[in-house]
Amino acid sequence: MKNRKKCLSGSAVPVFMAFLLFGLMALPRAQAFPPAGTNGVQDTCGTGNVSGRKILVVYESKRGSTAEAAQTIADVFCSSGFQVDLAIARFVTDLSAYDGVIIGTPIYFSKFLPGIDRFLENHKTALSEKTTAFFIMSTLCDAETGLPDRGLILGSFVNPVLEDYPEISPVGDIGVFGGRYDFKDLYPVELLAMSLEQFDEKIDYVNSALVEAWAEAMTALFN
């Protein structure tokens, strides 16, 4: 794979240096995501699909690309006759109303975002009884094609997590899509760590058409 961009693997030394130098400067910034309501739900669609199965699309997003993908997936499922709630993972407390769950996270410094880790741990028993799928966002992509290194992403970052949850059996292929970042949007701690690791200053491999195609294929597995 030519000119492959680095993922957010984050070696221990730069990250330690970043925390040492910046510490509490890395405060959370406001993000332009819709506010979450009851059970973390931000949006609902397909309410007229009264005979359709009810699906929860749940995600965590760092810079917005995972949120965009989650919205695209929700829209595809609604157009295909499902009832869909879109929710932020960290706020979800109850899965009893849903027939299926689609879970999305970026790979951030080689890991799932903490909200997804907590969601899997808190709901692993409920997820074992539902149709479940995963989608992943990463900037570990080929610079020429914009396509993610699926084998490396799954083998190094995704499968090791899912192995901790043998109760959960995802249907179909795990969606793996290109993400984005821009140095101007980073926390100081992130900026220093990524600069020391010589990341490009701006990457955008988001491809909504690929997300939509994956979602359309998945609808048959949730019926």
| Pairwise CA distance, residues 16 & 13, whole Å | 5
Length of the chain: 223
CATH number at residue 75: 3.40.50.360
Residue 117 is part of which domain span? 39-180+201-222
- Residue 194 within a domain: no
Among 103, 85, 216, which residue's Cα sits nearest to residue 161?
Answer: 103
**pTM of this prediction?**
0.82
- Residue 68 within a domain: yes
- Residue 18 within a domain: no
pLDDT tens sequence for the chain (223 residues) = 334 444 444 344 444 444 433 333 344 444 446 677 889 899 999 999 999 999 999 999 988 899 999 999 999 999 999 999 999 999 999 999 999 999 999 998 889 999 999 999 999 999 999 999 999 999 888 989 999 999 999 999 999 999 999 999 999 999 999 998 676 776 677 767 767 766 777 778 999 999 999 999 999 999 9
Total domains in the chain come to 1
CB burial string 127-139: b at 16+ within 10 A, e below: beebbbbbbbbbb
